[in-house]
Amino acid sequence: MAGLDTHYSARDIETRILAAIRAAGLDPAQCLSPEDLAPLDHFHTGGMRASRELQALARIRAEDRVLDIGAGLAGPARMLAAELGCRVDCIDLSADFCVGAALLNRLTGLDDLIRVHRGSALDLPFPDHAFDVVWMQNVGMNIEDKRGLYAELRRVLQPGGRFAFQEMAAGAAATSRFPLPWATDPADSFLVSVDAMRAMLADGGFVAECFDDTSDAHLGRTGADAAPNALTLGVFVDNLAQKAANARRSLQEGEIRLVRGVFRVP
């Protein structure tokens, strides 16, 4: 995990975030909205649009207890808390990201609904059946032991609970371009095929409600709808342009596929 610690480090993240907020013309002393922060804190393919689509697919309700694994700066958690009133626990391996998430929870006035924990998806610090929904966006690519991951998710989900996710899957050829948004080099990238992912989830006791390859739809969109903004992932992600370009080229050439799904515990 030493590689991931370095890949997801962001020194002085609070200073970086506050400077970017002010450069965007926002006042951190005022209560900010999740929409204000969306270009900064949705560190996954498709940004806030993809998060809202996943929320709708998972049919998340105000009363649902949600666990966001690999939460990063917790943008989706704030979206769910602000728009639905959900209580959300966030967990991430990166100490820097946890610090940044806690700061943004305070700046949006949502720290009473969101708790941030540092830890591993393979050893969740929660009791059995604690959650109605487990949420993951662009996280599984860093986890080699996917069967162990799915077993741990099933453990913390209530009967009838849902696992809502999006992530990259292996394409027809090996991924050849690095760095990528989730890995500086191949040692930290653990992609499996779409068929293997579906099979491992079924073996883990999950039932598919929906499972889609959204690669072509994503490639068909342009960045034209994203207005210039001082708040970008580049505030805390080094070499963002190169990583994003490598990911897009890999997607275009079929080395990776973008999938999303909602799977239920019977």
Give 234-248 pLDDT, tens digit per residue: 999 999 999 999 999
Q: How many domains does the chain fold into?
A: 1
Supply the pTM of this predicted model: 0.96
Q: Categorize the per-residue pLDDT at 224 as very low, low, confident or very high, splitting at 50, 70 and 90.
A: very low
CB-based contact 223:166 (threshold 8 Å): no
Q: Stretch 60-70: mean pLDDT, rounded?
A: 98
Percent of the chain having pLDDT more than 90? Answer: 95
Q: Which domain holds residue 159?
A: 2-264
Which residues lie closer than 8 Å to 193 by C-beta, 6 or more apart? 169, 170
What whole-number distance in Å separates Cα of residue 28 and Cα of residue 255?
Answer: 41
Q: Name which of 165, 160, 258, 150 is nearest 202 in CA terms.
A: 150
Q: Is the N-terminal amide bond of 76 cis, ω within 30° of 0? A: no
Percent of the chain having pLDDT more than 70? Answer: 97
pLDDT at residue 227 tops 80? no
CATH number at residue 152: 3.40.50.150
